[in-house]
Structure 1
Amino acid sequence: MSRRSMPPRSVAPMFSKGAFSIPPGADAYADLLRDTRGLRREQAQAREQWLAKLPADRRDDVLFELEILLKGLACFANPRNHPGPPRRTAVVAQDFRENLVLARDGMHRIVQLCRNLLGEGERAFVFQRYLEMLLPDDNARTRLVRGASSQDTPEESLFLLRHALTNLVEVTGGVTRLPRVPFRLFYATLSVALREVSQSAFFNPLAALEFRPEFDRITNVRLLELMQRVPGERARRLVALTFLSLFRMLRYLALLDHVVREPRSAGLVYLVLSVLRSDARALTGYLRKQAGEQLADSYERELFKVPASQIGARYEEMLSEAHRLLAIKATLGGIAANVRLELRRAFEHDLPAPDGTATPDQLRAAVGKIGANLRPALQNAVLVLGKSLGTRLDEHGVFDDMVERRSLSNRLRRDVWMFAQIIRAFGAKARVVPTREDRWSGPSSLQFVREFLSYFNAMGYPLLRAADYPRFDTFIAALNALEETDLLDPERLDRAVTEAERFYTFLSDLFDQIGQRDELRGVPFDRRAAAEALRLYLGD
């Protein structure tokens, strides 16, 4: 499969019951929930038993916040995960004192959450720390510390984290009294936290794109069936990973809404934001670099299972299956491009840098703004992927309440308007290109075409999927033809422009139709905000 090829849409239904068989027990979704943490079976069972004993108010939400903040300490150590406009100053020349103050606030919260989860075991910690400070004999103190270093149970593992983070709070408190904290000192301090978390037997969430049954279980039956019906083991795993990652990022946004209301919330917010950006970068990078290879390998494995005597009889079925996998590849590529664009906009334009200058009110406003932008974008990515697999998930209980429908429709209306402006500009530019270019001037004359195709991958393809455009196949073929040449071909360009203009007319009508939906009744279109969003997208 070529990297940029896009399939025809007219291959429905997406996955027939007679398509490639799914081996018994090949459940990629369950495998990801079970295996990405890397716990041994006895550890997983001990953790489940410990969770079952916790009071309901201390179970999932408190544990989720704890693990995300632990991961946040590691992610926040990487300045690439910090929000704010790009800085031209070299990292080694920057002052990270305020960043370390924020990390220390996060450590304070981690200690509080550990105390909450330990319950009565918290008294043992206080007594242990008292003895360590009281014992005058070094050998006795060493034996006491060694005896408290086992991690045979979740309680013991949590106790060690509580102990380590309490000490780190004291250390960072001293470091932040310095007038300046260079990057190496900032990174070294958080590396100590990273080491403690990585050595935790039961609470080590540091793996990228890591999932847990207690946090990430999907209950929608239709969505679970949809993931099971994807042909090929690797393709199923790729689709399941994408769904789980998108839902996990939505949960990060919900956690942000929660922690931003806490006292001294800035540190918590920036740690969670660092995890969000790290996971989003991991997902988009994986989809851009690995989706085609994984899907092609999955198809090849299933193809080789077909006996030679049945190749002729099953040719059309296998060809149709290849087109379906191409549709998944194109959709995953569009999701990756869109999520990458949305995260860049949020982190570089909407969020303040972690320099201690933002007031609590400003930070709350920024978190609310990125939630309003990112949440419908991630939800729409889930729906678009479901649609590429042949199912409208919003008709099967996914994001179907009135608030979510209004948010999704409002976002779709804005995206339709924005991409319509991009198409109009592309057509205007293409119409003034000379019909006969010097053959050797191809790269410069194709620059605006490349820019349009990049915008299409990030915005246009999801719109095609979401809007059921009747000329889908023809439009895709015209764009593919543009990508297949290194020089400006007037005939191909004219055909692409003609199809783009037809799509513009379709989008203009769709814009009016979306505005008449029940959930948008009385909700005016904010053209100024849409124009500002378009300016930021084009700037990126």
Structure 2
Amino acid sequence: MQSSPTGPARDAYGDLLRDTRGLRREQQAAREAWFARLPSEKKDELLFELEILLKGVACFANPRNHPGPPRRAPIVMQDYHEPLMLVRDGLARVVYLARSLLGDRDRAFVFQRYLETMLPEDTVRTRLLREGLAQSSPDEALFVLRHGITNQMEIADGLLRLPRVPFRLFYAQCVAIQREVSSNGYFNPLTALEFRPEFDRITSRPVLDLIPQAPGEQAHRFVALTFLSLFRMLRYLRLLDAIGRDLTDLRRLAGRAYLVLAVLRSDARALSSYLRKRAGSLLADSFEDALLLVPAHELRSRHDQMLADGHKLISIRGALEAIAASLRLEMRRTFEHELPAPDQNISVDDLKARLAAAARNLRPALQNAILFLARSLGVRLDEGGVFDEKEARKLSSERLRRDVWIFARILHAFALKARYIDATDDRWAGAASFQFVKEFLSYFKAMGYPLLRGSDYPRFNEFMASMSALTDTDLLDPSRLDAAVEESEAFQAFLNDLFEQVSRREELVDVPFDRKGAAQALKLYLGS
């Protein structure tokens, strides 16, 4: 593994796969041995869905993770009967998956349930219950989980007989399930941004080779965390696709899909927040610590390498913050405008179509984020060699073409707005008059920066300097605004040419540009 003057090389990727679950070493070994013994050909898919649905209940307890437009009514005034129904139907799938993984041992569960209800003596029943809570092995832990989730299903069935389910009752039920899961020694996926070697290993060798090239331990960890999280989100989308293909019953489909969506929204928010709030400061602290460790007599000989590492860290920080902004924008657009609310009356075919459309729109955004992060590390990756999807290159090119068109329109609107308003007017001194500049800068961070970095724009430094000049002031300086407008117009012309170049790619030669769809996407982005 490559070492760096900015810090010791550690296997952050391996650490994240191994340690984020918090299992002790002997538990880790026992779980790996148990997983290896499972006979099912699709055991990784079964276990992945089981753990995602368990995590989904905890995430779905938070209404912020529900799709649909924002509600005006306070949560205490809303009826959570339908969300509780979705949780109950998701639990039914958890029980089925646990039974599949237990195999013949599931018969012991059925027999124990029978004894618990038939034994007349409380002491015998209590002893039997205590014995059933043992978790000395993964099989026993899964047995306990199956038992507890079955009990929670029966409670939910009782609550659903009520004419109305207030939020506090819905939340209490979800928290009870969450505590059941959190007490499990081997199947507790409730940590945010946690990974498992059974189904989170990155199979792309070019991506694995990239991770250690980030200079310094903190950068190494940030890059590994971001790659793992983005690949995990792509797997959520594949799970949603599989759910939509397999089911024709609305309740069974919705119960599984909404819990997976809740995990997707929660993980995306957690990653976006962490990168936005922590990337800059932690990378700077890491570089400062490494610089202070350099002996004074080596400063001259190591100056060029330290300077190169510093510039690389700046590039990585910009990429991570852009990915955070893009994730936030994409998730808000998808969840608030494309997906139905849990209580919306919808047919099974309509739900399947909207789930498929959401996955189809999010997939290239996540894939392009992976490619963009690699580009910030100095490497261009081939879509076909990184992603499993057969049409990854086509999807990536279609999204790039659409994003180029959208941001060119945003640049044009910004330049027109800035040219139209008299920069010497007193209104420039007010916060309201500066709002359109702040909005433009937010769009640039989410969409423009990846295009700027990924397209090898020849005036990259000049454009970034003009954007930094706007960011660094609370009052609108006419000279700074004029410089930003000139650079924006130049970048718009470059994007117009890039749009034509992308359209001539082999995978897009026979694919007409959906201008109406792009305009609708632009409207949704601006609304978010």
TM range (shorter): over 0.9
Equivalent of 1:226, from 203, 207, 210?
210
Equivalent in the alignment of 2:418: 430
Instruction: Report the alpha carbon displacement of residue 444 of structure 1 after superposing the two structures with TM.
Output: 3.0
Aligned to 1:3: none
Shift of 1:142: 0.6
Secondary structure, aligned partner of 2:193: coil
Quote the offset at 1:314 in angstroms.
2.3
Q: Deviations over 1:94-133 (max 9, x none)?
A: 0001111111000000000000000010111111111111
In the alignment, what sits opposite 2:512? 524
Matched, 1:125 2:109: yes
Equivalenced residues, count: 524
467-476 or 282-291, larger mean C-alpha shift:
467-476
Other-structure match for 1:255: 239
- 1:308 maps to 2:293: no
Q: Distance in 1 between matches of 2:82 and 2:428?
A: 53
Q: Kindly state the Cα deviation for residue 356 of structure 1 after the two structures are TM-superposed.
A: 5.1
Indicate whether 1:317 and 2:305 are aligned. Answer: yes
Which residue matches 1:403? 391
Displacement of 1:56 in angstroms is: 3.9
CA contact under 8 A between 1:394 and 1:400: conserved in structure 2? no
Match for residue 266 of structure 1 among 230, 235, 254: 254
Tell whether 2:476 aligns with 1:491.
no
1:52 equivalent to 2:62? Answer: no
Provide the residue aligned with 2:275 in structure 1: 287
Between 1:114-123 and 1:478-487, the stretch displaced more is 478-487
2:521 aligned residue: 533
Query: 1:478: Cα distance to partner?
Result: 1.1
- What is the aligned partner in structure 1 of residue 230 from structure 2? 246
Indicate conservation of the 8 Å contact 2:394/2:507, yes or no. yes
| Partner in structure 2 of residue 206 of structure 1 | 190
8 A contact 2:287–2:310 mirrored in 1: yes
Q: How far is the alpha carbon of 1:371 from its aligned partner?
A: 0.8
User: For 1:227-273, what per-residue CA distance to the aligned partner results, in whole angstroms no more than 9, with x for missing partners?
Assistant: 11211111111111011000001100111111233342101000000
Map 1:107-186 → 2, pairs under 5 A? 107-186=91-170
SS of 2:391's equivalent in the other structure is helix
What is the deviation of 1:481? 1.1
Change (3 A) 1:93 1:401: closer
The farther-off stretch of 249-258 and 489-498 is 489-498
Q: Report the CA distance between 1:380 and its aligned residue.
A: 0.3
Aligned to 1:7: none
* Equivalent residues of 2:82, 2:342 under 8 A apart: yes
Within 5 Å, give how 1:356-367 maps onto structure 2.
Answer: 357-367=345-355
Unaligned segments of structure 1, at least 5 residues: 1-14
1:395 Cα deviation from its structure 2 partner:
6.8
How far is 1:172 from its partner?
0.7
Give how far 1:182 is off.
Answer: 0.4
- Deviation of 1:439 after TM superposition, in Å, equals 8.5
8 Å Cα contact 1:97/1:181 also seen in 2: yes
Structure 1 equivalent of residue 448 of structure 2: 460
Q: What amino acid is the match of 1:20? A: P
Q: Are residues 21 and 86 of structure 1, via their aligned partners in 2, closer, same or farther at CA, if it must alter by over 3 Å?
A: closer
- Name the SS for the 2:387 alignment partner: coil
- Greater mean deviation of Cα atoms: 52-61 or 524-533: 52-61
- Residue 58 of structure 1 contacts residue 117 of structure 1 at CA under 8 Å; is this kept in 2? no
Q: What code does the residue aligned with 2:449 have?
A: Y
Contact (CA 8 Å) 2:6, 2:306: kept in 1 or not? no
> Aligned match of 2:5 in 17, 20, 38?
20
**Structure 2 match to 1:377:** 365
Establish whether residue 74 from structure 1 lines up as the match of residue 72 from structure 2. no
Q: Is the 8 A contact 2:316 2:376 kept in 1?
A: yes
Distance in 1, matches of 2:31 and 2:388, equals 34
Amino acid of the structure 2 residue aligned with 1:30: G
CA gap 1:270/1:396 in 2 versus in 1, 3 angstroms:
closer
* Cα pair distance change 1:254/1:401, threshold 3 Å: closer
378, 381, 394: which one pairs with 2:382?
394
Q: Does the CA-based 8 Å contact 2:4-2:216 persist in structure 1?
A: no
Q: Would the aligned equivalents of 1:222 and 1:396 in 2 still touch at CA under 8 Å? A: no
**Who is 1:514 aligned against?**
502
Q: Shift of the alpha carbon at 1:492?
A: 1.3
Q: TM-score under structure 1 normalisation?
A: 0.94
Shift of 1:23: 3.2
Question: Which structure is richer in relative contact order (CA contacts within 8 A, separation 6 or more)?
Answer: 1
- Structure 2 length as normaliser, TM-score? 0.97
- Per-residue displacement from partner, 1:358-403 (whole Å, max 9, x unpaired)? 2111110111111111000000000000000011122782138651
Match of 1:65 in 2: 49
Separation (CA, whole Å) in 2 of partners of 1:506 and 1:232: 35
1:338 paired residue number: 326
Deviations 1:49-69 (A, max 9, x none): 000000242420000000000
* 3-state SS in 2 of match to 1:257: helix
User: Which deviates further from its counterpart, 429-438 or 43-52?
Assistant: 429-438
1:449 is the counterpart of 2:442: no
**C-alpha separation in 1, matches of 2:87 and 2:308:** 52
* Structure 2 CA distance for aligned equivalents of residues 417 and 325 of structure 1: 30
Q: Separation in 2 of the partners of 1:533 and 1:143?
A: 61
- The C-alpha deviation readout for 1:487-516, integer Å capped at 9, x for no partner, is 221211111111111111100011111111
The separation in 2 between residues aligned to 1:473 and 1:373, in whole angstroms, is 31
Deviation at 1:486, TM superposition (A): 1.9
Identical columns (%): 60
In structure 1, C-alpha distance between the alignment counterparts of 2:41 and 2:383, rounded to whole Å = 32
Does residue 1:39 correspond to 2:23, yes or no?
yes
CA contact (8 A) 2:149 2:177 kept: yes
CA contact (8 A) 1:232 1:301 kept: no
Counterparts of 1:5-16 in structure 2, within 5 Å, are none
Which residues of structure 2 form unaligned runs of 5+? none
C-alpha distance in 1, partners of 2:193/2:186?
Answer: 17
1:238–1:294 CA contact under 8 A, matched in 2: no
